[in-house]
Amino acid sequence: MATTKAPAPPPGSRRWAALPFIGLAQLMIVLDGTVVNIALPSLQRDLQISDGDRQWIITAYTLAFGSLLLLGGRIADYTGRKRAFLVALLGFAGASALGGAAAGFEMLLTARALQGAFGALLGPSALSLLAVTFTGPKDRAKAFGIWGAISAAGGAIGLLAGGALTDYLDWRWCLYINIPIAVVAAVGGFAMLTESRHPGSARFDFLGVLPVTGGLVAIVYATGRAGPDGWGSAKVIGLLAAGAVLLAAFALVESRVAQPLLPLRVVADRTRGGAYLAVGLAVIGMFGAFLFLTYYMQVVKGYSPIRTGAAFLPMATAVLLSAGGLTTRLLPRVAPRALIVPGMLVSSAGMLWMLTLEPGTPYAAGVLVAQLLLGFGAGMIMPVALDYATHGVGQGDSGIASATVNTAQQIGGSIGIALLNTIATAATADYLASHGPSPAVARQALVEGFAAAGAWSAGILVVGALIVAVLMNTPRPELQTVSEHRPPEDPAVPEGAAAPGLSPGAPAPSV
C-alpha cells in the first residue's frame, strides 16, 4: 500500500505561535465542563426545568463527548487534523450559540449534545496537532507542560467565570463565551497550523459506533428515568436490557472487525482495566459533588453564583497540591494501587461528609471539609490512572488506550450524575411527602436528597477501591521483572491504526 510522508514540523517560531490557539481550544473544552454547573440553578428557574431533568444539561454533553471520542480521534487522523480542528471549533461555536439562545429545555438539550459531539472531534484533533507540532524532547516537554497547566487551571477558571457571567450578565453568557474563544482559535489555527494526517485510506468502524453509543444512551436514560418511573417499571427495565444487549453487540463487533474502534486487548489487561475503572468511579464523586454542592450553596445557603464559584476553589487547590506535591513523587516508587485505593477511600470520606450538612452548617465545617477530602483523593487517583492507562500497550494501541481512559471519565460522569440525581430527587420527594410543604422543609428536603446521593456515591467508591485492590496487582516500577517488560502485546502498527504516540482521546480531565 502506498503511504504519504508525514509533513515536517513547522519552524520553531511558527510552532510556538500556534500553541496559544491549540491551548485556547483546550481551555474552551475544559472550561465548558464547569462553567455551566454554576449556572444550573439560574437556567433551571428560567427554563422551568424539573429537578429530575436538570442533570441532562450536564449529561447530554458528557454522554455525547464520551461515546464519540474514539470515532472523533479516527476522523481527525484520517481526514486531516487541522481540518478537523477548524471544523470542530466552528461547530462548537455554533452549538454554543444555539444553547445560549435556547427558548426551552429541548433546544438547550440539543445544543449541549451538539457541543459534546463537536468536542469529541475537537479534543483529539487538538491533542494530535500538539503531538505532531512539537516533536523534539525539550520542546515537547515544555508544550505538554503548558497544555497540562491549561487543563488544570481551566476548571477553576470555569467556576469563577460561570459565577461572574451568571451574576453580572445572564446564564446564557456561560454558553455565548465560547463563541469568541472558538473564533480566535480558528482564525489563528488556520494561519499557523500545518495540516497532517495518517497515511492510508480511512477505515471507520461505524458498526462499532452505533451499538456502543446506543447502549450507553439507553443505560444513562434508564438511570435518569428510574426516579419518576421507578426501578421496576417496564420502561426502565427495558432500557437497561436494551443497553446491555447493545454493549454486548459492540464487544462482539470489536472482536471480529479488521480495524476495531476499541481493540478488546486494550481493556482486557488487569492494569489498564483497573486504571479505567478507577477513573470511571472517581468521577462519580467529583461530578456528583459539583452538582449537589452547587445547589446546596445557591439554593439552600443562598450564595450568589460568583460566591459559589469562589467557594469551589479549595477543591481545585486540593487536587493540584495532592497531585503535584504527593502523587507525582510517590508514583515512581510505589505500586499504583497503593495510591489509587487510598485516594478512592479519601474521596468516599468526602462524599460521606455530605451526610453532616444541614441548612445552617457553616461553610468551613461542611462544604470546605467535603471539598478538601474529595480534591485530595482525586489528586491521588487521576495522575496514577492516566499514567497506567497505556501500560504495556503496543505502539499501534497507545492512542486508543489514552482515548479509552478519557472515555471512561466522560461516561462515568454521565452515568454517575444520572444515577445520583435520581437518588437525590427521590429522597427529596419522600421527605416532602412525609413532612409537608414549607420553605424550611423544602431546604431540609434538598439536604436529605444530597445526603442520600452522597452515601450511595461513597459506597460505590469503597466498592471500587476493593475491586482495584484485587484487580490491579501491578508492582511498583523498580520491582517489575524482566518478564513484565516483554515486547508489547501488539508491536506492529496495523494498517489504518492510530499513528504512534498520537492520542485520539480527549484532553486531560478537568479539575
3-state secondary structure 39-90: HHHHHHHHHCCCCCCCCHHHHHHHHHHHHHHHHHHHHHHHHCHHHHHHHHHH
Percent of the chain as helix, strand, coil, to the nearest 5: 75, 0, 25
What was the pLDDT predicted at 254?
A: 81
What was the pLDDT predicted at 154?
A: 67
Question: How far is the C-alpha of 20 from the C-alpha of 17, rounded, in Å?
Answer: 7
* Nearest alpha carbon to residue 454 among 298, 286, 314, 231: 286
Look-up: residue for cell 471539609?
369
What was the pLDDT predicted at 149?
A: 59
What was the pLDDT predicted at 499?
A: 34
* Nearest alpha carbon to residue 129 among 179, 189, 88: 189
- Burial group, residue 277, by CB count within 10 angstroms (0-12, 13-18, 19+): buried
Distance separating the N- and C-terminal Cα atoms of the chain: 44
pLDDT tens for 397-438 read 655 666 677 778 777 877 888 788 888 888 998 898 888 778
Look-up: residue for cell 463565551?
177
What was the pLDDT predicted at 382?
A: 78
Q: How is residue 209 written as a grid cell?
A: 459506533
Question: How far is the C-alpha of 395 from the C-alpha of 505, rounded, in Å?
Answer: 15
CA atoms 363, 378, 113, 219: torsion sign: negative
If you count DSSP H runs as helices and E runs as strands, how many of each does the chain have, helices first? Answer: 18, 0
Look-up: residue for cell 453487540?
249
Query: pTM higher than 0.75 for the full model?
Result: no
* Nearest alpha carbon to residue 218 among 251, 244, 248, 252: 244
Q: What's the angle, vertex CA 139, arms to CA 134 and CA 140, rounded to 5?
A: 55
Question: How far is the C-alpha of 406 from the C-alpha of 484, rounded, in Å?
Answer: 25
Quick one: which H or E segment has residue 493?
Answer: none
- The C-alpha R_g of the chain, in whole angstroms, comes to 22
Question: How far is the C-alpha of 26 from the C-alpha of 462, rounded, in Å?
Answer: 32
DSSP state of 100: H
Q: Is residue 22 a contact partner of residue 143, using CB atoms and an 8 Å limit?
A: no
Question: How far is the C-alpha of 256 from the C-alpha of 208, rounded, in Å?
Answer: 10
What was the pLDDT predicted at 184?
A: 92
Question: How far is the C-alpha of 267 from the C-alpha of 260, rounded, in Å?
Answer: 13
Q: How is residue 203 written as a grid cell?
A: 477505515
- Burial group, residue 411, by CB count within 10 angstroms (0-12, 13-18, 19+): buried
Q: Is residue 219 a contact partner of residue 415, using CB atoms and an 8 Å limit?
A: yes
- Helix 398-435 / helix 56-79 crossing angle, nearest 10 deg: 170
Question: How far is the C-alpha of 108 from the C-alpha of 175, rounded, in Å?
Answer: 10
Half-sphere exposure of 154 (CA within 13 A, CB side): 23
Question: How far is the C-alpha of 260 from the C-alpha of 491, rounded, in Å?
Answer: 17
For the chain, list residues with pLDDT below 50.
1-6, 481-511
Q: Which DSSP string do the residues of 331-366 spell out, in sequence order?
A: TTTS-THHHHHHHHHHHHHHHHHGGG--TT--TTTT
Average pLDDT, the chain: 78
> CB pairs under 8 A, 24+ apart, for 97-106?
97/175, 97/176, 97/179, 99/172, 99/175, 100/172, 100/173, 100/175, 100/176, 101/172, 102/47, 102/172, 104/47, 105/47, 105/48, 105/49, 105/53
User: At 253, which amino acid appears?
Assistant: V
3-state secondary structure of 150: helix
DSSP state of 395: G
- Burial group, residue 273, by CB count within 10 angstroms (0-12, 13-18, 19+): middle
